[in-house]
Amino acid sequence: MPRDSNTVYIGQKPTINYVLAVLNNFNSLGAKEVVIKARGQAITTAVDAVEIARHRFMKEVNVSKINIGTEEMLPREGESTSRKRNVSTIEITLIRK
């Protein structure tokens, strides 16, 4: 799966790391649009990173689109293999005015 240069995938790092990634995409790479993607418990970090970037650092950035959904994941190690688990997903698209 190719990773787009204007996409920030949220994981377990501190929120400020993702805020800096968003700022870097807009400022250094000159992106007009940045997409933030997260799954499961990382969704709260994604929302926090977007809000910090918008309200503290780049007031000219707006949320263009929010997509939410569910992905079926394979069972974790040690879990029953007959049951897949559902994981929530979010995709937040930011654009610069």
Domain boundaries, the chain: 7-96
CA distance 11 to 57: 21
List the 61-73 sheet strands across, edge first.
Answer: 7-9, 33-39, 85-96, 61-73
Q: pLDDT class for 1, splitting at 50, 70, 90?
A: very low
Q: Classify residue 65 by burial, with Cβ atoms within 10 Å: 0-12, 13-18, 19+.
A: exposed
pLDDT, tens only, 2-55: 456 799 999 999 999 999 999 999 998 888 999 999 999 999 999 999 999 999
Residue 4 contacts residue 68 (beta carbons within 8 Å): no
Token pair, residue 8, equals: 């920030």
- Beta-bridge mates of residue 70: 88
CATH T-level fold of 7-96:
Translation Initiation Factor IF3 (3.30.110)
